[in-house]
Structure 1
Amino acid sequence: MTVWLLGDQLNPDVAPLQSADRVLMIEAHAFGDRGPYHPQKLTLVFSAMRHFRDELRASGHEVTYLRAETFGDALDEYFAANPGDDVVLMDPPSHRAGERLQEMVKSRGGTLTLVPNDLFLTTPEMFDEWATSHGDNDTYRQEHWYRFVRRELDVLMDGDDPVGGEWNYDDENRETPPDGWEPPQPPRFEPDELTEDVREFVRERYDEVWGSDEEFVWPVTRAEAEKALNHFIRVRLCEFGPYQDAMLEGEWALCHSLLSSSLNLGLLHPRDVVAAAESAYEDGAPLNSVEGFIRQIIGWREFVRHVYRRSMPEMGTANQLGQTTSLPEAYYTGETEMNCLSEAVGHVWNHGYAHHIERLMVLSNFALIYGADPHELNEWFHFGFVDAFHWVTTPNVVAMGSFATDVLSSKPYAASANYVNEMSDYCSSCVYAHTKTTGDRACPFNALYWDFLKRNEEVLRGTGRMGLMYSHVDTKDDEEWAAIRDRAVEIREKGARGDL
């Protein structure tokens, strides 16, 4: 039996590998021509694949590793040498990817059998049964799923009840670090010779990239990913909880785990990550930190995988607010006087990463109230983040961040400068005034926020959680709305010109 392993299936414990006679891996390059991919993302994927190839060979597997422009080119070469071969592939999570690969193999005279992807903790059948039992197969709410899956997997449970008596400690995870606090340094994994070769290949092969490849610190092997997990558990987890929603000037990592790329490539299995966090709780780690982290894994990562699966292809084109404006130039240049936006875009440029609050409440929130096309924003995330795959970004960016569909959120995550000021120290050194809505130095978040609510009033006013926001909308008179609209227009013009 030949097992085909994709670049996001780099785990030696997956079921198909245990009975494989031969392993097929294809390093396809042309996908990187579809847009300005971050060079660190390209380097990470190709380096992780080549390291995994070498580890499989060292463990006795026969590995056919093909480098080609496309999967089709590589499959032509493979089936010319192995006519009629039967190939097994774990079903990839991106929409119809497995079916497309089956068709490609069939057209070359082979067969491709799709088997369950065991790099997740929950199965499609489990989620589908849960969704049916909750009576609405079109919209999904994460908190209900999270409680269900905690019980099913017996994670942080005390019999039938959650450990500590509460399911969710989110209200203990919104603290601002005290003055003088410094986060621990994130782990660094210096590129070895193989990774340096890949980095040079990426520099030579790709004409159009976005981002810097200078500070490449990501794990490219299972051993490095395990070290990163251990470092997080020992050094960062305890303070992750209270400060997980915080943003600090000059700090790109804070106490976040930085494990998402390793999870999404398969270098770490979520089972091992959750087990390590549970063990830390048993050893005395704070419950709010452990629960908040585990919620990211089993409550959110598993959730968006299934919502994506059930909501595509409609989610891929959804735009219920009809937003079509191009992203501000600042997303591509990083050049803006908005301190928060400059920081967040800079983190992506330098590292291919920004943490979840920067993603949702700065990058997505600003694009949302600016009126940006959700699918351009989705592509921007997909190209720019080292942990981004279509099944990851589409529900997070299109559904949650852009509210282009209400499939997983009952309201848009739209906020004014008040939120950024509350959760960061960005506003204190920004040239824009977070307390002003109109005028030359009024923070762009504010006028855009009110303009967003007014423009989308027909869709949003009746939603269940928007009443308070629209009670404030109703207090503004015509003169104030005229000033808000003028300021919003001015901000969009500045954004398009690149002088925001």
Structure 2
Amino acid sequence: MITLRLILGDQLNPQHRWFSETADDIVYVLMEIRQETDYVLHHAQKILAIFAAMRDMARQLKERGHRVHYLTIDDVENRQSLPANIDYLIAHYQASGFEYQAPDEWRLDQQLYEHGRRTALAWVMVDSEHFYTTRSEAAEIFTGRRQWLMEYFYRQMRVRHHILMADAAKPAGGQWNYDHDNRKPWRGTPPEPVDARICHDHSALWHAIVAAGVQSFGNPQAHQLAWALNRAEALQQLDAFIEQALPHFGDFQDAMNSHAWRLFHSLLSFALNVKMLNPREVVGKAEAAYRSGHASLAAVEGFIRQILGWREYVRGVYWTNMPDYGQHNVFGHSNGLPAWFWTGQTKMRCLSHAIGQSLEQAHAHHIQRLMVIGNFALLAGLDPHALHCWYLGVYIDAFEWVEMPNTLGMSQFADGGLLATKPYVSSAAYIDRMSDYCKGCHYDKKARLGERACPYNALYWDFFYRNADRLANNPRIGMVYRQLDKMDAESIEGFSARAQMLRANLDQL
């Protein structure tokens, strides 16, 4: 009696308890399917890296003595959808049971749940054994509180898991958060560490993907793809980050530079989100670097907060608010994405670089995503759902559970403040302070009005003016409205006219 066990493309954890023993009556199933390549348009590297990592996972399992049925994208037996392939494999093996790890995306969770309801088979979902928290744990932590705040959640996680603590209740160093210390621009020193990631030639796989009719965008880098294929490579990348980059991560985690796209970021989010790495071991190695004196508390705390705090928090927001979360659009924004979102060819140097890097590398760090691309999108009134689909497709680490709350909540404030306490927008001044993007730009970072004035400036003031009814009483942005109150009507009219012209001609910027 055969039991099938499904492994999804973001469940590539060779340490799962499933694999602790081999058994002839268990068949592990992995499938490359158009259902998953086509639900949004994906970056070529994202498709390529996930398929390559899945194939490597299948290889590892076979070498360890497990039975594996792998459906490639061009397999004639491949029905190209999850339910159809499951039905085919159940019939093929005359299986008596079907097991799967809890999906992290609501659509897959519902698809597998509904399909299981329609079969007489023993249908079992098990835990993925990855996250610190359960799907509902964040909601339980905030029961009875008027507002969800990541900082409160993060402190609860620190105490519960005894991470960066001086004792049972007090944080190491006497304070919980060192974000204020981690906002330095990078001017060239210390030098960016060498990119020591292992590169692979995936040309044959890429040709098969293209031949199968899969559509994508961005540079596939098929001859030298550097994203980890397996746990061993991910661990090597983790060790290199801890040794070379973590000591400087805190100072420059918000910095942007046109000459250094990686700076001191770990680039571990892909390996984490497909579960080659466990967040506990990543956090553990970072904390050990602090305890040994290799990295400062500010650097380590800033890194750990992204994983233990933000990553777990947005997952809780996602599962608590699905399936309706994706429909939020509190400002009613509806402008389409400019054509240069797909080419990077805009006269705004900051956006040209951040989007160009995203198209080239399938990666941008959090400030590029939030305060360059997302900032412009919110100020320009871009449709938040269209932006969500773009973010979900373009970034190699983007899976809906983590990307949707970050885009709709943190970046676009489309949920009206459920996730973030204020809209994260700025004029050109912030971008200039944290990067070299404004140097040599077609637009003048200091000019507010006129044809060569940086678009961020007029869009910024017009955004707050237009949305005063909703935002003026927000205590975190009160200073903006005090400045607006001091402006004369002519200035405000000038911002409004300039912003209206910009929104009407987005493709020409």
Please classify the TM superposition score into its range, dividing by the shorter chain length. Answer: over 0.9
Distance 2:400 2:310 in 1: 16
Output the amino acid matched with 2:59: D
Are 1:5 and 1:89, in contact at CA under 8 Å, matched by a contact in 2?
yes
> CA-to-partner distance for each residue in 1:387-429, whole Å, 9 max, x for gaps?
0111111100001100001111121101111110111111122
Distance 2:175 2:140 in 1: 25
Output the amino acid matched with 1:202: I
Distance verdict in 2 for CA 1:110–1:197, change over 3 Å: farther
Are 1:79 and 1:109, in contact at CA under 8 Å, matched by a contact in 2?
no
- DSSP 3-state at the match of 2:70: strand
Are 2:4 and 2:90, in contact at CA under 8 Å, matched by a contact in 1?
no
Correspondence list, 1:388-403, <5 A = 388-403=398-413
Distance 2:135 2:276 in 1: 22
Correspondence list, 1:106-255, <5 A = 106-107=117-118, 109-132=120-143, 135-136=145-146, 139-159=147-167, 160-179=169-188, 181-192=190-201, 195-206=202-213, 208-214=215-221, 216-255=225-264
Shift of 1:482: 1.7
Distance 2:492 2:138 in 1: 45
Partner of 1:490: 501
Distance 1:271 1:179 in 2: 32
Are 2:102 and 2:126, in contact at CA under 8 Å, matched by a contact in 1?
yes
- DSSP 3-state at the match of 2:475: coil
TM-align CA RMSD? 1.7
Partner of 2:345: 335
Is 1:364–2:374 an aligned residue pair? yes
> CA-to-partner distance for each residue in 1:274-293, whole Å, 9 max, x for gaps?
11111111221111111110
Q: Could you tell me which of 9, 33, 52 is aligned with 2:11?
A: 9
Deviates more, 1:62-71 or 1:288-297: 62-71
Are 1:381 and 1:388, in contact at CA under 8 Å, matched by a contact in 2?
yes
Distance 1:81 1:107 in 2: 18
Are 1:35 and 1:208, in contact at CA under 8 Å, matched by a contact in 2?
no
> CA-to-partner distance for each residue in 1:212-258, whole Å, 9 max, x for gaps?
11252111111111111011001111111100000011321111000
Output the amino acid matched with 1:245: D
Shift of 1:84: 4.8
Are 2:4 and 2:29, in contact at CA under 8 Å, matched by a contact in 1?
yes
Distance 2:175 2:333 in 1: 39
Partner of 1:478: 489
Shift of 1:457: 1.3
Distance 2:452 2:33 in 1: 48
Shift of 1:188: 2.7
Output the amino acid matched with 2:58: R
Partner of 1:57: 62
Q: Could you tell me which of 444, 450, 454 is aligned with 1:443?
A: 454
Shift of 1:122: 1.7
Are 1:93 and 1:391, in contact at CA under 8 Å, matched by a contact in 2?
yes
Are 1:170 and 1:292, in contact at CA under 8 Å, matched by a contact in 2?
yes
Distance verdict in 2 for CA 1:179–1:126, change over 3 Å: closer
Q: How many residues align?
A: 493
Deviates more, 1:119-128 or 1:70-79: 119-128
Distance 1:310 1:107 in 2: 26
Unaligned runs of 5+ in 1: none
Shift of 1:484: 0.9
Unaligned runs of 5+ in 2: 73-77
Output the amino acid matched with 2:315: R
Partner of 1:31: 36
Distance 2:213 2:495 in 1: 43
Are 1:102 and 1:111, in contact at CA under 8 Å, matched by a contact in 2?
no
Q: Could you tell me which of 421, 431, 436 is aligned with 1:410?
A: 421
Output the amino acid matched with 1:143: E
Are 2:11 and 2:274, in contact at CA under 8 Å, matched by a contact in 1?
yes
Distance 1:20 1:84 in 2: 17
Using the aligned pairs only, state the percent identity.
38
- DSSP 3-state at the match of 2:476: coil
- DSSP 3-state at the match of 1:465: helix
Deviates more, 1:474-483 or 1:160-169: 474-483
Is 1:379–2:389 an aligned residue pair? yes
Are 2:422 and 2:477, in contact at CA under 8 Å, matched by a contact in 1?
yes
Partner of 1:275: 284
Distance 1:296 1:35 in 2: 26
Q: Could you tell me which of 250, 258, 265 is aligned with 2:267?
A: 258
Distance verdict in 2 for CA 1:10–1:170, change over 3 Å: same
What TM-score, normalized by structure 1, do the two folds share?
0.95
Distance 1:372 1:20 in 2: 51
Is 1:352–2:362 an aligned residue pair? yes
Partner of 1:434: 445
